[in-house]
Structure 1
Amino acid sequence: MELKNYSTRWTSQRGARPVRIANCSGYKADPGYHMFYQATLGDVDFITGDYLAEVNIAENAQAHALGQHPGWEQTCWDGIEQSIEVLAEKRIKVIVNGGAHNPKGLAEKVHRLVTEKQLDLKVAYVLGDNLFEEMKDVATTGLPPHLDSDNSEVQHSSHTLDLIKKENKPIVSANAYLGARDIVQGLEEGADIIIAGRVADASPVVGAAWYWHSWCYTSYDELAGALIAGHLIECSGYVTGSNFAGFYEYPLDDLYDLIFGIAEVEKDGTCVITKHDAKKGFVTEDTVKCQLLYELQGNVYLNSDAKAILDGVQVKQEGKDRVRVGGVKGLPPPPTTKLAIFYRAGFQSEIVINATGYGTAEKFDLYERMIKFGLSRLGLLDKFDVLEFQRIGIPEPNPRSQLRSTSYLRIFAEAGDEKVNLGLTGLLTEFAMQHYSGFHATSDQRTAIPKPYISYYPAIYPQTSLRTSVNILEPKKTTSADVETRMIPTTPTPRFEALTKRENYETSNPVDLSTLGPTTRCRLGDVVLARSGDKGANANVGFFIPTLLPSAYPPSSPLYAQAWDWLRTYLTKEKLKEMFAESWDPAFFIERVEFPHIYAVHFVVYGVLGRGVSGSSRLDAFAKGMGDWLRDCVVEVPVTLLEGRGIGKGGETVSRSHL
């Protein structure tokens, strides 16, 4: 794709070819040099960055309110500062949500940099996502509906409504997830760099493609395709080899220091996911499918501008590091958008102690009884919001070292009153010399000291109630160092479509599993890959048959279709409950759908993460490891499917080769 004629990029080239959009960040931790890489290691039209996880905007809210934090993400500024001259030279436009609580402040800082360097770049910022003032008194004004309020089969965590049912739970942040309309308006006004706060993760990519191809608000198929393109590249290196379930079939040195992904979005909304040739990483059908299945909420992906219907999604390798994604359909957006409300929930403590070898289960039984006895004597046992004794790992039989024989007891506690947690911490000293044989722990239990924590309430908010704007920074005519702001109010889409009940089904035409031949017990992951993630209190996990692992069946092989028949028939909701085993709770609820063109089965498990994010008691609070845990479960698999992967008895790989 020829992009070298930078001077004509926004005239003769706009809309005449696919738009090339590079991602430089998926979280605030991604260093600024990734923006510089995307700007310099190849040609792109836009660079987008997603710097906001659900929790980090809340973590900085209090510090920003106290004047102890600038309100925007430092790594976003670092990237712009490193790249600004290249952006001007190559006429690359930048759209980021790194403005966080203070997009105006970061935009003005960038404008000063542009002015100092005398560059021909126009800076803008988006406002309207921050609803703190509207939400700070919800105890009296009323709490917006919960994100899952339309699903009567979902049971919420027992502490979901603490922020209105209990005292002293002040809200620290409330941010709505905005769409792309404000971004498009800013681009139409000539903006080169747009700083937003909480726009939805994929909205910068949607806005870039919408503007480039001059779509209208009813271009639902096209907008939905761009939405999925944004979903695929929004998470740093997740589409180029990071967080990839099949990583072990590649040289380990190929799996770090990765370049991030690029989406080439075509006029019809289909896209090719790729990367710069420079630096490490790889884009295959399998890395794309893994990321496609990440943090979904079923077969409908929601955004403020369109709903993406994924039932027909297709993923196809076109060449080295080039994967085409299509088959996505669009519908009008819902009348509401997500609203993330965080509040000061109380205090949190975490204690980790070790046990080695013989009698480990009894050792942890003893310690739990002792701590509960002490808490009862202090009158504190029933004062906790959460008190869990979690056993992590099991000692290796006939251990080859003490490390292999050691496992952990994790005591996790949350309470509204700091004194309750301090009572738990005090027992560590009181019972310091009363313990099981071989008791040991880290020398400094800093996490045992109660620390304030924030918890999460995911809500929905009417789009028509939002008051959004894009704000263009322009030099004053009198003094070039000064700036004036031209505010342009924006409005939501004029057409919405109410949400319908989410689809939830077993496979429509199961096969007779006996026709697939004799079976043997092996790990699920010997046949399938997976990706899992969080959606507030819920976790999602998608399983699929790989196509481009070195050991995978060729897509033309009959074994590939047989593996799909087995997976969709075998992996039912009841089977998933069985695999959860001791982790299953009757309060959980499962939704199941299929994506037949990519041979994937997808689940959402409602309620498994408690309140979610920083309020969750789970060790894996963001469900990142859930997919790999379930892939390690032993299941009945047809022998022919294992032999086709070069896997023998017990799941041992006979031979593997690199691509």
Structure 2
Amino acid sequence: MNGSNGLNGSSRWSQRGQRPVRVANCSGYKADPGYQMRRQAEQGDVDFITGDYLAEINIAENAEAMAAGKHPGYEQTAWDGIEQTIDLLASEQIKVVINGGAQNPKGLAEKTQQLVNERGLSLNITYIEGDNLLSVVKSQIKDGIYAHLDSSNSEIQMVKNTLALLDTEGRPIISANAYLGAREILKALELGADIVIAGRVADASPVIAAAWYWWSWSETDYDRLAGALVAGHLIECSAYVTGSNFAGFYEYPLDQLIDLPFGIAEIDSDGSCVVTKHENTRGIVTVDTVKTQFLYELQGNVYLNSDVKAYLDDVEIEEVGRNRVCLSGIRGAPPPPTTKLAIFYRGGFQSELVINATGYATEEKWQLWEKMLRYGLKRKGLLDKFDLLEFQVLGTPQENPRTQHASTTYMRIFAETSDAQLNLELAKTMGEYGMQHFSGFHSTRNMAAAAPRPFLAIYPALYDQNNLDCSVHMLAPDLTATRTAVGHPGRYEALEARDSYDTSKAVQLSTFGPTQPARIGDVCLARSGDKGPNLNFGIFVRHADEWDWLRSFFSLSRMKELMGDDWREEYHLERVEFPKIWAVHFVIYGILGRGVSSSSRLDAFGKGFADFVRDKWVDVPVRFLDRARYVGGKRKPVQETASASTLRRETRAKRKRADSKVG
């Protein structure tokens, strides 16, 4: 083994509660291959391997395919990981907790037990039930008792068709899964489980449970549980904390960012954690990668889980060694009485038509084509029958282009309907006017996307935790199971209104000295992502003296201004600050429609939004730009300036202090 602890299976659990627990994550989505689990077990010492295989959509797709007899219900990559790693798990006594059971945790657990039997291993396999509420929801949906996740905020407008699932005949419900917390996993571990297979437990719940069990915390150790919740948030997204999806990737050799390792969290008794990775692997763990992952997919300054509510305002992030970053300062409180319930239903049909235009008078070409199609649909009496019809122009022709591609942009015509025939009529109308096109009209040879395809839509609801009936099932070698019921949190705390504010005592931007036009990304890093129908965006600076500028510049009104024509008055915007990490965070409610699976945006996951904002030109203080190493994503020529020399001295001193802490 290559790990720093030099542990082996026999000594690992004798140290339980005496040192930080090492939790390695092996998956952030179903596509992550099974060898990532094996790597986490063989490349160094870890106590737990966790895996998050579920995005909101794939658990619903599993349910639909499973009902049709075309899918086992669990994620194949989760099984691949177990199959590749099972011998190492047994010899090193590493415990595994994953939600890869998806819609069929029992099926994956039984398959794992059969593998254990075949290999002659001594491992206890458990699975968790209680998240699947499909039959309950189907029987109750007409009663209208399932409040929308954002219903408590009167300023949020629900987008069109948000309540379409009430039409259960026209839009039948496919799946309904509650987001469970860590207590079911904890119970399994207390019963002696070596492998715990769950369905829709929240992304960070496996990590919370691992730390909870290791440290024997009580359910009222809210600060500690909240710290573990954020630790789970940091490592649950595949390689996002080790260099993937990282805004500053261009500052590192590209070969270092290929075939990345996944993250490890060393969680201490107080809930603080050090994020790291196995030694002698590629990738990076820096203050910047941890900050960007911390800001990802938040919904303000409060992070919710079924076991604990985490307050993030005072978060601190600091380097404590090479590829070792400590996060602390998280406060906890009792969980809310409700949890998220993801209800998926057949939303109707989608289609896309893509055509290209080249060069001269491009803007007028797109105006003509949209008018042409709208005219044709209106003449047939169809224009107002679409649930959604958008004409999206993507790209800008390059001035004095060197190639035809540089001069070409495209229009994406996106349609959603409840009737597939209507989608076909859109394609027919385009064909009807196909020879009445603008000059230079052309399109892809493959128009398969124009055919109507069914899609699933999400309704994120609230569900009372006390109505959940969750249980742990311990398998015997003959596949019989012993069921143990799991109770509910002993105490709840009602959800408060979300904080949203402009900065206090904003500083006049003129006080920062001379400015020059530059990209925001020249001095800021950022990350964005999806939270159901909403998009989150966090942005931060790297130097303390830039914080007052960032918080004063990035106001609520400025954010709307930077969004330009993408901002709509039906959206709702919230803003909070994380002053100890020099970050501002926004949530844009409603911009993703009903959610990823039914969003009309090309960037349906919201991941590109951060770099869209970073590419905006604004007036930036010259002294900030003087010390920037990169401008426009390109490295500046090496110049021996006073500010550059100072920065290098500060960096060397910081690294020296960090190394002394490790020693």
Question: TM class by shorter-chain length?
Answer: over 0.9
The aligned counterpart of 1:536 is 532
Q: CA deviation at 1:206?
A: 0.3
Q: CA deviation at 1:142?
A: 2.2
Counterpart residue type for residue 336 of structure 1: T
2-side partners of 1:454 and 1:616: how far apart?
A: 11
Q: Tell me whether 1:591 sits opposite 2:591 in the alignment.
A: no
Q: CA deviation at 1:616?
A: 0.6
Tell me the secondary structure at the aligned position of residue 412 of structure 2. Answer: strand
Counterpart residue type for residue 62 of structure 2: N
Paired residues of 1:522 and 1:650 also in contact (CA < 8 A): no
Q: Tell me whether 1:334 sits opposite 2:322 in the alignment.
A: no
Please, which of 314, 317, 337 is the counterpart of residue 315 of structure 1?
317
The aligned counterpart of 1:7 is 10
The aligned counterpart of 1:87 is 89
Q: CA deviation at 1:255?
A: 1.4
Paired residues of 1:3 and 1:9 also in contact (CA < 8 A): no
Paired residues of 1:129 and 1:175 also in contact (CA < 8 A): yes
Paired residues of 2:276 and 2:325 also in contact (CA < 8 A): yes
The aligned counterpart of 1:545 is 541
Deviations along 1:203-226, one digit per CA (max 9) or x if unpaired, are 000000000000010010000000
Deviates most, 56-65 or 44-53: 56-65
Q: CA deviation at 1:654?
A: 3.7
The aligned counterpart of 2:636 is 653
The aligned counterpart of 1:629 is 612
Q: CA deviation at 1:379?
A: 1.5
2-side partners of 1:346 and 1:236: how far apart?
A: 32
1-side partners of 2:256 and 2:613: how far apart?
A: 26
Q: CA deviation at 1:508?
A: 1.5
Deviations along 1:610-641, one digit per CA (max 9) or x if unpaired, are 11111111111110000000111111111111
Q: After superposition, where does 1:552-567 map in structure 2 within 5 Å? A: 560-567=543-550
The aligned counterpart of 1:458 is 460
Q: 1:388 to 1:137 in 2, by over 3 A?
A: farther
Tell me the secondary structure at the aligned position of residue 127 of structure 2. Answer: strand
1-side partners of 2:16 and 2:315: how far apart?
A: 27
Tell me the secondary structure at the aligned position of residue 374 of structure 1. Answer: helix
Paired residues of 1:523 and 1:651 also in contact (CA < 8 A): no
Counterpart residue type for residue 177 of structure 1: Y
Count matched residues: 639
Paired residues of 1:516 and 1:562 also in contact (CA < 8 A): no
Q: CA deviation at 1:507?
A: 1.1
The aligned counterpart of 2:118 is 116
The aligned counterpart of 1:395 is 397
Counterpart residue type for residue 120 of structure 2: Q
Q: CA deviation at 1:166?
A: 7.7
Deviations along 1:42-77, one digit per CA (max 9) or x if unpaired, are 010000000000111111211101221000000000
1-side partners of 2:538 and 2:403: how far apart?
A: 36
Deviations along 1:230-275, one digit per CA (max 9) or x if unpaired, are 0000000000000000011111122120010000000110000000
Q: Tell me whether 1:494 sits opposite 2:477 in the alignment.
A: no
Q: CA deviation at 1:430?
A: 2.0
Q: CA deviation at 1:474?
A: 1.3
1-side partners of 2:509 and 2:100: how far apart?
A: 51
Paired residues of 2:526 and 2:538 also in contact (CA < 8 A): yes
Q: 1:647 to 1:276 in 2, by over 3 A?
A: closer
Paired residues of 1:15 and 1:213 also in contact (CA < 8 A): yes
Deviations along 1:304-332, one digit per CA (max 9) or x if unpaired, are 01011100000000111100000001011
The aligned counterpart of 1:479 is none
Tell me the secondary structure at the aligned position of residue 56 of structure 2. Answer: coil
Counterpart residue type for residue 62 of structure 1: E
- Percent sequence identity is 60
Q: CA deviation at 1:521?
A: 1.4
Q: Tell me whether 1:144 sits opposite 2:146 in the alignment.
A: yes
2-side partners of 1:641 and 1:468: how far apart?
A: 54
1-side partners of 2:575 and 2:82: how far apart?
A: 42
Q: 1:166 to 1:36 in 2, by over 3 A?
A: closer
The aligned counterpart of 2:479 is 483
1-side partners of 2:511 and 2:80: how far apart?
A: 59
2-side partners of 1:493 and 1:162: how far apart?
A: 33
Deviates most, 208-217 or 515-524: 515-524
The aligned counterpart of 1:56 is 58
Q: After superposition, where does 1:278-357 map in structure 2 within 5 Å? A: 278-357=280-359
1-side partners of 2:41 and 2:178: how far apart?
A: 30
Q: Tell me whether 1:65 sits opposite 2:67 in the alignment.
A: yes
Counterpart residue type for residue 148 of structure 2: H
Tell me the secondary structure at the aligned position of residue 391 of structure 1. Answer: strand
Paired residues of 2:521 and 2:632 also in contact (CA < 8 A): no
Deviates most, 20-29 or 430-439: 430-439
Q: After superposition, where does 1:467-478 map in structure 2 within 5 Å? A: 467-475=469-477
Deviations along 1:77-133, one digit per CA (max 9) or x if unpaired, are 000000000000000000000000000000000000001101010000000001100
1-side partners of 2:503 and 2:215: how far apart?
A: 38
Paired residues of 2:173 and 2:346 also in contact (CA < 8 A): yes
2-side partners of 1:278 and 1:174: how far apart?
A: 43
User: Structure 2: where are the runs of 5+ without partners?
Assistant: 652-663
Q: CA deviation at 1:647?
A: 6.2
The aligned counterpart of 2:660 is none
The aligned counterpart of 1:512 is 508
2-side partners of 1:140 and 1:87: how far apart?
A: 47
Q: 1:470 to 1:394 in 2, by over 3 A?
A: same
The aligned counterpart of 2:155 is 153
1-side partners of 2:110 and 2:168: how far apart?
A: 40
Deviates most, 164-173 or 459-468: 164-173
The aligned counterpart of 1:644 is 627
Deviations along 1:522-572, one digit per CA (max 9) or x if unpaired, are 1111110000001111100000013xxxxxxxxxxxxx2221110001110
Q: CA deviation at 1:3?
A: 4.5
1-side partners of 2:634 and 2:113: how far apart?
A: 58
Q: After superposition, where does 1:604-623 map in structure 2 within 5 Å? A: 604-623=587-606
The aligned counterpart of 2:130 is 128
Counterpart residue type for residue 521 of structure 1: P
Paired residues of 2:522 and 2:632 also in contact (CA < 8 A): no
Query: Could you state the TM-score of these two structures normalised by the residue count of structure 1?
Result: 0.95
1-side partners of 2:368 and 2:138: how far apart?
A: 45
Q: CA deviation at 1:298?
A: 0.4
Q: CA deviation at 1:139?
A: 4.4
Q: After superposition, where does 1:575-590 map in structure 2 within 5 Å? A: 575-590=558-573
Q: CA deviation at 1:409?
A: 0.1
Tell me the secondary structure at the aligned position of residue 476 of structure 2. Answer: strand
Paired residues of 2:522 and 2:633 also in contact (CA < 8 A): no
Once superposed, what is the RMSD of the aligned Cα atoms?
A: 1.6
Counterpart residue type for residue 612 of structure 2: W
Q: CA deviation at 1:5?
A: 3.4
Please, which of 263, 271, 274 is the counterpart of residue 272 of structure 1?
274
Paired residues of 1:647 and 1:654 also in contact (CA < 8 A): no
The aligned counterpart of 1:216 is 218
Q: 1:420 to 1:138 in 2, by over 3 A?
A: farther
2-side partners of 1:307 and 1:390: how far apart?
A: 40
Paired residues of 1:378 and 1:423 also in contact (CA < 8 A): no
Deviations along 1:445-470, one digit per CA (max 9) or x if unpaired, are 10000001111111110000001001
Counterpart residue type for residue 492 of structure 2: F
Q: CA deviation at 1:163?
A: 1.2
Deviations along 1:409-443, one digit per CA (max 9) or x if unpaired, are 00000000111111001123222222111111110
